[in-house]
Structure 1
């Protein structure tokens, strides 16, 4: 009886060896098939510059060194988009990595053939798609009011015999239960951001009004070594300000980040992609982003209030603020309450543009989780920063600190996503089951925001920002708590705000 058992074990070992051998052959075959692709990619990257410099043909010999540097710069700037397109074609990658990369690259490609209105319309359509795709199946979102009611009901059931002396303890438990809800914490963070932005906006006016040398003359700007280096590098290819601005407009990095941001939030909300993406929640990501933005803007307001740097823009104060400043305190305060859409007239450390775009980059790269995509995004964003530094819109230290501080704050608030107690098993209504009335309710505020942003003035857009905020509060009061439609109205508010201030 022992000999057959030995033979059976031998057969099992042979089968295991054959399976492992066949698996190894398959892996080798896949590796062999992947080598030509990598070779083609490297050839595509390095062969054109080499041919441009080394080819002895007459056409290449006629090219000046300036044109060679310029063409090489154009080619290198196109590489990140090529890599993103390559990521989208890789079917073995998680879905969120492919979609986020595709949305970033497609937004920039669309910018080459369309105007701002076209990009704004596509962005509005994405907002509408996000709103309709994330409608919960049961339409029963947990709201603030429902959380308070549940807490009270739980306490009443378990502690009906408690005396009045325990009332304060019960209230503390109710408050603790309420604050543990991720949606409530996110809403509180939104109010925190609003206070930080309003305070910063007022401080912009205070610093500009109290810096007397900028009122009737253009003060001498400080020496910016970073800008001097960039000017020297730009002279190698004879790039002018107009040339660099056209490159910046063509890359369209800020609005590409907005497109990638919308796709990232959609992937998180619909739980698309790998397990890492499915474990995250929309409210947790938004909470982390709002706290990062609030602290970054607080640091910004404190920094430019402590040390006033002269603006590099000629006659800035006369073009933005009343000169001389009003003597009446009510008028003086009213000017500070007006939204400073174009910034102030002193160089503001750190750059607000850098904080916003860096935050978007942090969110997109965090949701994607692809290293190559992250490198491409930060390279393109750095190019956008460099052009702004070269143009003198900000000192180099402003852009540098804006990116670094925002990134560090984003890392430091990672625990907020883990602490947010939000359910992740929500089921959503499929798009084919969306009713016409739902489409109207969600579509009207979306495309009204598009019309205001495209055809209206900045003053009108600011008015609609307040209108969307008032409507959101009204829906909360009417429904007795937070609902999915309030989320859509706030997204429309964010859409208009980005169009005005980005």
Structure 2
């Protein structure tokens, strides 16, 4: 994996300061309440003061449509995932969840064994809630904002488009994966504590195709030989059918109850992370994509530290039984492969070789003369101008339009930061 060389470690220091200050919420809530607003206010103020000096607004303008398209795709993927989370939770009924023990997980066994071998201080560090989902989202937002300081290659909206597009594809693949085979939760009590209002009995599909053959080996053998469902389904309660209008086709998938209201959307908002084992881990997908983006765009020692935090998150997800080990392992290599495949949206590499050669040809005389004069500052400026022109191309639109676009982009971005921080603070 490539570790690019960076000019400054300012972004890495800011990122680590954010993680450390946010961890004070556990060890010193008083200092956390004092320092966290100061840090965010300082970072926001510094970012705003850099806006007038940012030279890549034309590049950002061209990245708006891919950014908005990626955002819509991601929102659609999250909706599709929420539908599948509710389906796999409700289709077998609450009784099934309560009766199913968790699957054997060798990763969990390994961590329990290490607890007996490692020093207590090390075990406590492994158990510590150092970083969560909202931290990874914020770290990516900080990475995108660092284009204002030329720490990361523009456009930031292009980087954001790649991040959201990759996450959307990953979420769609995840939803298809965990809906294909329904697996029991690593926390057997989860369904009772979160979904006590879902029907206790299985859906009519599960009544016909699963329940009669779930534990009887002879029945399983018979249905395999016949390749057709044959057992008596029994009698179960009648399903509740609210009037959802054009969305009524979702009733069979979501299995609403009378106590959940009449809105399908409000029902989906209660889906949360689900209580089945959802292969693969969505939390770890976000963590890996953030680490991949950071490594490619910024690099340095902060990238290595971020990957250590990802590994810490992996073992904590397994240790606390939010996921089985397979969910975290699959999320890691899926996240890496997906990020590698979406480099066509945004890449740290510059323009084409032919384009660079053409622009160098135009300044060849000036470059040669500067070299003869040993004027290295002039050489650097000429090469920087080639790089800038290669990124931006011809400018379009007036300065007023660009200033309006810059102001709107900053307002939108800071609003997203505030919303992300507020809505994901609980992971």
State the TM bucket, normalised to the shorter chain: 0.5 to 0.7
Query: For the structure 1 residues 316 and 215, does the alpha-carbon distance in structure 2 shift closer, same or farther, using more than 3 Å as the test?
Result: farther
* Residues 39-71 of structure 1: per-residue CA shift (max 9 Å, x gap): xxxxxxxxxxxxxxxxxxxxxxxxxxxxxxxxx
* Residues 103-131 of structure 1: per-residue CA shift (max 9 Å, x gap): 23323433246436457535643663365
Distance 2:89 2:304 in 1: 37
Indicate conservation of the 8 Å contact 1:143/1:482, yes or no.
no
Indicate conservation of the 8 Å contact 1:201/1:337, yes or no.
yes
Counterpart in the other structure of 1:251: 130
Counterpart in the other structure of 1:105: 16
Query: For the structure 1 residues 133 and 365, does the alpha-carbon distance in structure 2 shift closer, same or farther, using more than 3 Å as the test?
Result: farther
Distance 2:304 2:59 in 1: 39
Indicate conservation of the 8 Å contact 1:224/1:396, yes or no.
yes
Matched, 1:348 2:278: yes
Distance 1:483 1:105 in 2: 26
Relative CO higher for 1 or 2, CA cutoff 8 Å, sep ≥ 6? Answer: 2
For residues 170-249 of structure 1, the aligned pairs below 5 Å read 181-212=62-93, 214=95, 217-237=98-118, 244=123, 247-249=126-128
Indicate conservation of the 8 Å contact 1:201/1:336, yes or no.
no
Distance 2:342 2:150 in 1: 22
Q: Whose helix proportion is higher, 1 or 2?
A: 1
CA deviation after TM superposition for structure 1 residue 318, in Å: 2.2
RMSD: 3.8
Distance 1:296 1:205 in 2: 19
* Residues 408-464 of structure 1: per-residue CA shift (max 9 Å, x gap): 1111111211599974999xxxxxxxxxxxxxxxxxxxxxxxxxxxxxxxxxxxxxx
Indicate conservation of the 8 Å contact 2:161/2:345, yes or no.
yes
CA deviation after TM superposition for structure 1 residue 395, in Å: 0.3
Off by >6 Å, runs of 4+ in structure 1: 137-144, 419-422
TM-score, scaled relative to structure 1: 0.54
Equivalenced residues, count: 312
Query: For the structure 1 residues 245 and 310, does the alpha-carbon distance in structure 2 shift closer, same or farther, using more than 3 Å as the test?
Result: farther
Matched, 1:319 2:211: no
SS in structure 2 of the partner of residue 346 of structure 1: coil
Indicate conservation of the 8 Å contact 1:208/1:345, yes or no.
yes
Matched, 1:364 2:294: yes
CA deviation after TM superposition for structure 1 residue 269, in Å: 3.1
Structure 2 residue runs of 5 or longer lacking an equivalent are 200-238, 245-255, 258-263, 352-389, 396-403
Which of the numbers 163, 181, 194 marks the counterpart of 1:307?
181
Distance 1:219 1:117 in 2: 43
* Residues 58-113 of structure 1: per-residue CA shift (max 9 Å, x gap): xxxxxxxxxxxxxxxxxxxxxxxxxxxxxxxxxxx7344x1233123323433246
TM-score, scaled relative to structure 2: 0.63
